[in-house]
Amino acid sequence: MSTRIDARFAATASEGRAALVTFVMAGDPDHATALKILQALPGAGADVIELGMPFTDPMADGPAIQAAGLRALKGGETLTSTLDLVRAFRAGDDATPLILMGYYNPIYVYGVERFLADAKAAGVDGMIVVDLPPEEDEELCLPALSAGLAFVRLATPTTDDVRLPAVLRNTSGFVYYVSIAGVTGSATPDFDVVAGAVKRIKRHTPLPVAVGFGVKTAQHAAAIARSADAVVVGSALVDAVRGSLDADGRATEKTVSAVTDLVSALAAGVRSARVAA
- Euclidean distance between CA atoms 68 and 238, whole angstroms: 7
Say how many C-beta atoms besides its own lie within 10 A of residue 103's C-beta: 23
The helix (run of H) or strand (run of E) holding residue 249 is: none
Q: Which one is catalytic: 47, 61, 137, 239?
A: 61
Half-sphere exposure of 68 (CA within 13 A, CB side): 31
Q: Has 61 been annotated as catalytic?
A: yes
Q: Which one is catalytic: 50, 137, 229, 239?
A: 50
- Euclidean distance between CA atoms 210 and 221, whole angstroms: 11
How do beta strands 153-155 and 150-151 pair? unpaired
Nearest to 103 by CA among 135, 130, 83, 143: 130
Which backbone phi and psi does 139 adopt, to 5 degrees? Answer: -65, -45
Question: Catalytic residue numbers?
Answer: 50, 61
